[in-house]
Structure 1
Amino acid sequence: MEYRADASLYSEPIAIDAFLDDWQDPDFKSGKYAFAHGLMQLSVQQDQWNLGWLWRYDYILKFSPDMAKLYYQIENDLPLDAESMYELTLHAQHLERIGARIAYDWVPQSNWIFTAGVSALYGRHFVDGQFNAFGETNLMPRLADRVQWLNGQLNYYYDQPALKEDELGLGDFRAKEGYGYALDLTLQGEWLEKWYLKFQLEDIFSYMYWDEAPYSQYQATFDQNSRPRINLTGTVATDKSYKQKIPYKISTELLYNIHSEIQLGVSSFSNPFTSLWQMHFLWQPDSLQLGLHFEPQTKSLGVSFRHENIGMKYLTDNLNTNQAHRMEAYLFAQYQW
């Protein structure tokens, strides 16, 4: 029996704590990505079969630097850049689900294992949509007057409305139920006695199907020289079913034994919007393995340990969690009988 918990978070423009709250962060940086991935899994291995229960969470965002800057300026009551063009884009996916997983291990040859798994999922929450806009500012001091013109559109599906569509009096804008499936593949093994390779694909060709999923589509224009200045049109309705693609995760790991007790390695992690990689130093004098980890792109450092049936890892770019832009942690424990 094995219990596993993983969490991986990254926010490029501001600290994770501020990103998930009110964007109150004095250290704003230009950025285009943010994500949060979470997993909890309890499983039982019997010969080559693995059965388990899981919880998964994905929240991934891709936005233009202007979008991050504009939102930060508004949330912190800062003036918009004068006489500037703003290119605003945002693509968001938010998905939470639980389910059951079954997997099977093949041993194509000694020292190599190929695992294929499939999960049946029940959706608990989702948002999937895009926002696009272009605008220009002038020299006026007030926020309402500084926007010279703006053209934008928003399209998004959801299980519960984020823009108070339920207050329009047009019906119940909540998805009924969501069901889906997910596929995962893993290949791992040793090569030439000194190399260890692991390649993992999670949530590939995987989908959720939401029954009677609401969606909102808005088009808005604003022009200081027009009357009326604002023109807003839109549609709020429900579909019979919305097919949502689950964001994939790709992980790789390559280790080299330079000594009977020491390993050096690299690994990578990718989702649909971004990729990160790490360097590893592992020392295992006996049954205890200790590790040091470094992620160059985010300047994050991490430590890990593993001892027989328990292990954990923690990586961050700042020990003050309120200021960290990057955090990664995992914990596993297993019991054999």
Structure 2
Amino acid sequence: MALLNLFHSLKQQLAFIVSIVFFIESANAGSLAIFNLLDLPKQKNSVYVNTQTLLANDAFSLKGLFDDFHGHFSSQNSDYKAIGDIRYDIGTYVKDSFYIGYAYRKEATIKTSPDTMKLINQVSNELDLPIGKHYRVALEIEGFETHGMVLAKTVPLYQSDHWNIKLGLGTEFLYGMQTQHGTASGEAEAVSRTDYDFFWQSNYLYTENYLYDLDVNKVTSFGYTTHIALNVACDNISIDFIANDVMGKLYWKNLPYSNVDLSSANKSYDENGYVIYAPVISGFEGNTKFTQTLMKKWRIKGKYSLGNDSFQIGTDYIDDTYLPYIQYTHLYENNILSTVSYETYFHMVGVDVKYKNYYVGIQSNGILEPSAMKIDFGLQYQF
């Protein structure tokens, strides 16, 4: 099944990478890999190194992703979403004036219809198909991989006895290595317990074709993006707004594309009678110029501090998906900073600890078979 191959290959691209985070100051709020200009170092001879990795979906456990979608499946009537978000930063302040650094990024979001995921689950686990059932197949993918040079600066806008307002501005000059951008949609019908017919259409731009076997030449791109952050604090209350990729573009030349129809006319069967497809493909393939607009990401959070305790509420956002969270932080007498948090979309619980220049944290929505997870470790290096 071509769509199953596409979804499985893309999931592998989002596969969980245990991340090591070298982080500065307080525990990492939120779930996305956000470049927070308000947390950049300002000390001379200090290096900022920060890596963040998130893999989250609401269909299968992470274990199931590695095991051809076998195992527990969460059934729902709304669209399924998967997010892979990786960002690695290393940089420093130049002459106490502005930040300069390097960033590696890999991001992807996948949205699928409920019928798509139900069919994938039934086929992957060789479950009996309900004869005569019609499936509405729909999938959207957006993603990229880049290297970049970052320039950023945070400046005070207003200070008084009670108020403190800061603004951060940043830009990245990007070198793009991979992209996925497109849709697949159509219909499928179960014709027996082990067989189904399908027909769908795909409009797809890519650096590697996961929909069907097709060798393409390697292409790269250049581009840019911008970030902004604002902090408004009054006594023990503060509000932060951080936006990444406010205006972000990648300019691809000779990017492969496929505008094709796929059908199930060519079938074979395995030893258990389950159908195997080599889909019949018709349509157009070629190369084109393509300007890719990067997905906007942002975080807004409010914090209330009371002595050694602070309470925070906020949300992250990417690709029409909100990830709200709440967080409680306590500072102990031995300078240990501990945080517990709860994210409400994927239901991840987080525990974070910072001691001196070291930081460790984990967010997960399960112990044995989570479907969403983020892991952080960190330190600050000053020479």
- With structure 2 as the length reference, what TM-score do the two structures score? 0.77
Find the counterpart in structure 2 of residue 169 from structure 1. Answer: none
Find the counterpart in structure 1 of residue 12 from structure 2. Answer: none
Task: Pick closer, same or farther for the CA change 1:44–1:58 going to 2, 3 Å.
Answer: same
**How far did 1:22 drift?**
1.4
**How far did 1:141 drift?**
3.4
Find the counterpart in structure 2 of residue 271 from structure 1. Answer: 318
Find the counterpart in structure 2 of residue 7 from structure 1. Answer: 53
**How far did 1:243 drift?**
1.2
- Output the CA distance in 2 between the equivalents of 1:9 and 1:23: 15
- Output the CA distance in 2 between the equivalents of 1:326 and 1:142: 31
**How far did 1:278 drift?**
1.2
CA RMSD of aligned residues (A): 2.1
Q: Which of the residues 179, 195, 208 maps onto 2:222? A: 179
Q: Of the two structures, which has the highest relative contact order with CA contacts closer than 8 Å and spacing of 6 or more?
A: 2
The sequence identity of aligned pairs, in percent, is 18
CA distances 1:192-250 after superposition (whole Å, capped 9, x unpaired) = x1212211111122111122100011124569xxxxxx9742111111x2111212211
Q: Superposition pairs for residues 1-337 of structure 1, below 5 Å?
A: 1-19=47-65, 22-30=68-76, 32-46=80-94, 47-110=96-159, 111-138=164-191, 140-143=192-195, 146-147=196-197, 150-162=198-210, 163-166=212-215, 173-191=216-234, 193-220=235-262, 232-239=281-288, 241-257=289-305, 259-286=306-333, 287-320=335-368, 323-336=369-382
Question: What is the SS of the residue equivalent to 2:290?
Answer: strand
Q: AA paired with 1:58?
A: E
**How far did 1:267 drift?**
2.0
Contact 1:62 1:273 in 2 (8 A): no
Q: Which runs of 5+ in 1 are unaligned?
A: 167-172, 224-229
CA distances 1:169-191 after superposition (whole Å, capped 9, x unpaired) = xxxx2242211111111112422
Contact 2:85 2:106 in 1 (8 A): yes
**How far did 1:165 drift?**
1.7
- Output the CA distance in 1 between the equivalents of 2:367 and 2:88: 24
- Output the CA distance in 2 between the equivalents of 1:20 and 1:177: 29
State the 4+ residue runs in structure 1 displaced beyond 4 angstroms.
Answer: none
Q: Which runs of 5+ in 2 are unaligned?
A: 1-46, 266-278
- Output the CA distance in 2 between the equivalents of 1:189 and 1:42: 26
Q: AA paired with 1:65?
A: P
- Output the CA distance in 2 between the equivalents of 1:212 and 1:8: 31
CA distances 1:33-81 after superposition (whole Å, capped 9, x unpaired) = 0111011100102324110011111021011011111112222222323
- Output the CA distance in 1 between the equivalents of 2:337 and 2:139: 42
CA distances 1:59-112 after superposition (whole Å, capped 9, x unpaired) = 210110111111122222223232222111100123111111001212111222
